[in-house]
Structure 1
Amino acid sequence: MSKVKLVINPAIIMAVSLFFIIGSIVFSVPLYYGFIAGIVFTVIVLKKSGYALKELLETIVSAVFEVKNLIIVILFIGATTSIWLASGVVPTIMYYGFTYMEGVNFLMAAFLIMTAVSYFMGTAIGTMSTVGISLSGIGLGLGIPLNLMVGVLVSGAFIADKISPLSGLVNLTMTAINRNYKDILKSTLVTLLPTIAITAAIYYIMGLNYMSGDYSKLILYKNAIAEGFNTSKILLLLPVVILVLSVSGLKSIYTLCVGIGVGAVLSIVFQGMTMAEVINSILFGFHGKTPSEELNKLLVSGGMVAMIEAIFIVISAISLVKIFEKGNILMPLMDRLVSGINTKINLVLRTGFISTILTIATCDQTAGIILPARILNDKYKELELDNAVLARTISDTGVIVAPLMPWNINSFLIKPIMGITAAQYAPYAALCYVCPLVSVAAAFLLYRSKNHKNIQKSNDV
């Protein structure tokens, strides 16, 4: 249909919708209520502006079908978490971890382990739901607070979304700016390496507080795991298989299927579970039954059923974004943000700001990638700045800040996995703060000096 004039300013529509979302968090009601309220409000405004109600409802329905694969992945993540616990894979990793991590700066080690694993797995949430749970258990044994531990794990896990060649977001970025992985990697290393080094240093300093503690709890947990599970190094083959499949480029859905299937077999063979018990764990979750009640609180998963609320939130969040796109609510705001850019530094800073704002406002990183890439690509050509820098800046800002927002899709997928909210772990997710700051510093260091050189050349002429 032809363009229509909105009866309310687009900025007000977004602000009201965000108010509903934040309100649901403040009043501790299910987050999807806030999204639904935003959808209803936006639909009413668009209908009064001239859009047909049928057309808007069709947009919402199409959004649901668009995320059908994501819904399957979310359900499989819930199943994976349960089956890795039930099969003894996670307890086994913890068992051997309790032995080899004594005297190690565990916070820094956990960050580097998650960084490496997430890069090869290509999925932040997948890494959190497998290796992340194991490392959090070891951290518990070392007396590390859960909110701090999860913050460390999130920092390492979201390296996947930033630079892994297997990540859907990285491939979306490559498509959006029409560049290959080699070009983007070369540009991203400029900020990635300092970010990892600074974050590792932060966690090393923080980790010093947990290196001289009482290791008697480790022995207690280790004995509890030995009594509650049949541990075996053979169980460690499952994480290796999943890592190999991820590196080979197999789609996440198929990789998760293999992990669930093999985990089910291991549950029957090593833990003596019946098929009915395995299915029950996959659907309704698993609860550890070791002699340690404190450890049992960690060895818990809600299964597929626990992910239902997350699915409602994903569907409602994506529907709201699609309604925004249908009503052309985002683009007028983007046009205002783009105006007045006349230097390379300003361009990079504005790119990061736009990407971050879109990720915050739309509850997902997708808009924070696609829209900046679409509206700023010509500006990068105009100012003779490689658009690989555009990709780097987006991944340094809009992509990496996502898990900090309590209403973001990523943070409410982490909650059922780790058992705490974004508000609890966000202060400790150091990489999510360091990366944008390094990106800003790099812009000033790289392009300020070039601007000075250009000015000097002009003066010489």
Structure 2
Amino acid sequence: MERTPSLPMALLPILATLAFLIVQLFYFGDFTPHIPIVMGITVTGIVGYLHGYKWQDIQEGIFHVISVALPSVSILLIVGMAVGVWIASGTVPSMIYYGLGLIDPAFFLATAMLLCAFVSVSLGTSWGTVGTVGLALMGIGSGFDIPAYWTAGAVVSGAFFGDKISPLSDTTNLAPAVSGVDLFDHIRNLLPTTIPAMLIALAIYVVAGFSVAGEGALSSEKIAGMTTGLEENFNISPVTLLPLLLVIVLAVRKMPAIPSLFAGVVLGGLIALFQGVGLHDIWTYAHSGYKIETSVSELDSLLNRGGVMSMTWLITLVLFALGLGGALERTKCLQVILQVIVSGIRSFAGLQIFSTFSSILTNAISGDVYLSITLPGRMFAPAYRGIRYSTKNLSRALEEGGTLISPLIPWNVGGAFVISALGLGIVDGTNLENLWYIPLAFACWISPLLGIVYALLGKFSPKASEEEVAQWHEKGEEIFETGLSDRK
């Protein structure tokens, strides 16, 4: 007979996983968290077995969570193909070339954030934006002698801003669905935190741009070398930008992300064919990534990437992290921990703050953004209804603790993708200074902070309307009378 674990037993798999990760990352100096996560799944399975769970039960929990995230895994594969093919077709090189000539270095960081925000809102995918436009911006930033972590911070701020509020985004649809909120009501309720956070981040990037951009002959010489290298090795033309334009147009017309991105891959391949690239070479670039040797080392390190195989490290991490999250959920370990948290809350402000932090905690423990939205959403929604506060507050907390924080946790699937796609060189234990992109992704952590401040002040924290309460009863939604007050 299945039994709910006690709090110490529920904490055991999580603490064990963290211990394994600490040994791997800091004792061995190995930044591959895969096997420690597998060991965490093992401990979770043992705890489940001791509490009456059969392996078939745990396996179903693991595969259920993995199946939910398979569309995002598919996006990773297509992004890998797009990067390899778009480099061969000249799409990425042309973006870098025109960017070096058109963008003022002093305003590069601000421009990078705004451009990624626009593309991400259009595509509805932060990963697609980071892996394509973000990669080109890394090249432009290198030409301006801007540290990689500053560029990565601006790219992440913009890309995940778009993922947070785009109606095409999977997480933007998931958060209100879990909370029982209308999609566009959810998006509108995000604006009081999202807009100020983006404006603050924009102001910081404008100010920082004047100090971090390279100056003088060194920067000019580097830019000249990169543009010459691009001209010598690629067909630089506005025509090569058509794959990106096609993807954006399809997204604006509300086509799903996967066929939109793949259409861009196909068009990029056709453009490469007309440039004389062999069909087999295009297939090779899509599978194994683009390879080139130029006289400019910066271009070589930037453009030797892409392909389906470049995503295998990340996809295996995604699968293992999702597996851990599914096992923890099926054995009710996370549920026990969250219930203990709920029992200690005494006000709406406390509920809102703990909803945000529970999403962040689930993000960090499970490594999965989807679980960080769904599990706290199911746990906390009845408590919001019990004190007659709109669950729009919850959906915002989930979005900000889940979507926005995921790229700031290096072992989370979002953080691992950013590190891998932008070539930050952290995976192999080198270039650890590039982890500074985490605090420099200002919009991602300022937004949840503003949400906490609003909860404490009672601002932008709507109570449930009579219509919303009636809908709860009509749908038979669970209402948990927690004894909380509606004090701020």
TM score, norm. by length of structure 1: 0.91
1:238 paired to 2:249: no
Report how far residue 61 of structure 1 moved. 4.8
Aligned to 1:48: 50
Indicate the residue corresponding to 1:14 in structure 2. 14
Shift of 1:111: 1.0
Q: Structure 1 stretches of 5 or more lacking a match?
A: 452-461
The structure-2 alpha-carbon separation of the partners of 1:406 and 1:444, relative to structure 1 and needing over 3 Å to count, comes to same
Aligned residues: 450
Q: Structure 1 CA distance, aligned partners of 2:89 and 2:461?
A: 57
Offset at 1:58?
4.6
What is the deviation of 1:333?
Answer: 0.7
Q: Tell me how far 1:167 sits from its aligned partner.
A: 0.5
- For 2:200 and 2:385, how far apart are their aligned partners in 1? 32
Q: How does 1:244-323 map to 2 (within 5 A)?
A: 244-270=249-275, 272-323=276-327
Deviation at 1:38, TM superposition (A): 0.7
User: Aligned with 1:50: secondary structure?
Assistant: coil
Q: Which residue does the alignment assign to 1:88?
A: 90
Could you list the per-position Cα deviations for residues 411-455 of structure 1 after superposition, in whole angstroms to 9, with x for gaps in the alignment? 22223311124735223222222122222222233359999xxxx
Letter matched to residue 395 of structure 2: A
Distance 1:343 1:5 in 2: 27
The structure 2 residue matched to 1:217, chosen from 222, 229, 254, is 222
CA distance in 2 between counterparts of 1:390 and 1:225 reads: 48
Aligned partners of 1:81, 1:155: CA distance in 2, in Å? Answer: 21
Is contact 1:4–1:50 with CA below 8 Å preserved after alignment? no
Conserved? CA contact 1:21–1:38, under 8 Å: no
State the partner residue of 2:111. 109
Equivalent pair of 2:161/2:444 in contact (CA under 8 Å): no
Q: Tell me how far apart the structure 2 counterparts of residues 134 and 447 of structure 1 sit (CA, whole Å).
A: 40
Higher mean alpha-carbon deviation, 139-148 vs 416-425, is at 416-425
Over residues 234-261 of structure 1, what are the superposed CA-to-partner deviations in whole Å (9 max), with x where a residue is unaligned?
Answer: 1122211101112222222212211111
Unaligned runs of 5+ in 2: 427-433, 464-488
Measured in 2, the distance between the counterparts of 1:229 and 1:440 equals 49
Structure 1 residues 281-290 or 182-191, which shifts more?
281-290
Deviations 1:400-421 (A, max 9, x none): 1111111101122223311124
Could you tell me how far apart the structure 1 residues matched to 2:401 and 2:461 are? 23
Q: What residue is the counterpart of 1:428 in the other structure?
A: 440
Alpha-carbon offset, residue 344 of structure 1: 2.4
Q: How far apart are the structure 1 equivalents of 2:174 and 2:60? A: 25
Question: How far is the alpha carbon of 1:327 from its aligned partner?
Answer: 0.9
- Aligned partner of 2:328 in structure 1 is 324
State the shift of 1:288 in Å.
3.6
**Structure 1 letter corresponding to 2:174:** L
Deviates more, 1:334-343 or 1:21-30: 21-30
SS at match of 2:145: coil
| Structure 2 contact 190–396 (Cα < 8 Å) conserved | yes
| Per-residue deviation, residues 267-323 of structure 1 (Å, max 9, x unmatched) | 1213x2101111111111112444322222111214111211212111111111111
Cα drift, residue 158 of structure 1:
0.6
Q: Report how far residue 29 of structure 1 moved.
A: 5.4
1:127-146 to 2 correspondence within 5 Å? 127-146=129-148
Residue 154 of structure 2 aligns with an amino acid whose one-letter code is V
Which aligned pairs between 1:98-247 and structure 2 lie closer than 5 A?
A: 98-102=100-104, 104-210=106-212, 213-214=215-216, 215-247=220-252
2:193/2:448 contact within 8 Å kept: no
What percentage of aligned pairs have identical amino acids? 29
Sort the Cα spacing of 1:377 and 1:77 in 2 relative to 1 into closer, same or farther, 3 A.
Answer: same
Displacement of 1:30: 2.8
Q: Look up the equivalent residue of 2:455 and give its one-letter code.
A: A
Question: Deviations 1:48-104 (Å, cap 9, x if unpaired)?
Answer: 332223443454455555544433322212111111111100111111111111355
| Residues 383 and 54 of structure 1, relative CA distance in 2, 3 Å threshold | closer
Equivalent residue runs for 1:375-386 within 5 Å: 375-386=379-390
Contact 1:105 1:208 in 2 (8 A): yes
Distance 2:187 2:61 in 1: 36
Residue 456 of structure 1 is matched in structure 2 by: none
Give the 3 Å change call, closer, same or farther, for CA 167–448 of structure 1 in structure 2.
closer
Contact 2:81–2:287 under 8 Å retained in 1: yes
Taking the TM superposition and a 5 Å limit, the aligned residue runs for 1:409-448 are 409-420=413-424, 421=426, 423-447=435-459
**Aligned partner letter, 2:249:** V
Question: Counterparts of 1:247 and 1:202 in 2: how far apart (Å)?
Answer: 30
Q: Corresponding residue for 2:343?
A: 339
Name the CA shift for 1:289/1:182 in 2 (closer, same or farther; >3 Å).
same
User: Within 1, Cα distance between the matches of 2:171 and 2:113?
Assistant: 21
Alignment match, 1:458? none
Q: In the alignment, is the contact (CA less than 8 A) between 2:116 and 2:134 conserved in 1?
A: yes
Query: RMSD over aligned Cα, in angstroms?
Result: 2.3
Picking from 382, 392, 400, the partner of 1:388 is: 392
Distance 1:325 1:450 in 2: 30
Deviations 1:355-375 (CA, angstroms, capped at 9, x unpaired): 111111111111221122222
Q: Residues 21 and 389 from structure 1, CA distance in 2 versus in 1: closer, same or farther, beyond 3 angstroms?
A: same
Aligned 8 A contact 1:162 1:395 in 2: yes
Structure 2 CA distance, aligned partners of 1:35 and 1:19? 10
Q: Check conservation: 1:7, 1:49, Cα contact below 8 A.
A: no
Q: Partners in 2 of 1:442 and 1:132 — Cα distance?
A: 32
SS at match of 1:286: coil
Q: Which amino acid aligns with 1:19?
A: A
CA contact (8 A) 2:82 2:306 kept: no
> How far apart, CA to CA, are the structure 2 residues paired with 1:393 and 1:46?
30
- Cα gap change, 1:211 to 1:357, in 2 (>3 Å): closer
Q: Could you tell me whether the CA contact under 8 Å between 1:83 and 1:282 is conserved in 2?
A: yes
Q: Distance in 2 between matches of 1:415 and 1:92?
A: 23
Gap change, CA 1:450 and 1:359, over 3 Å in 2: closer
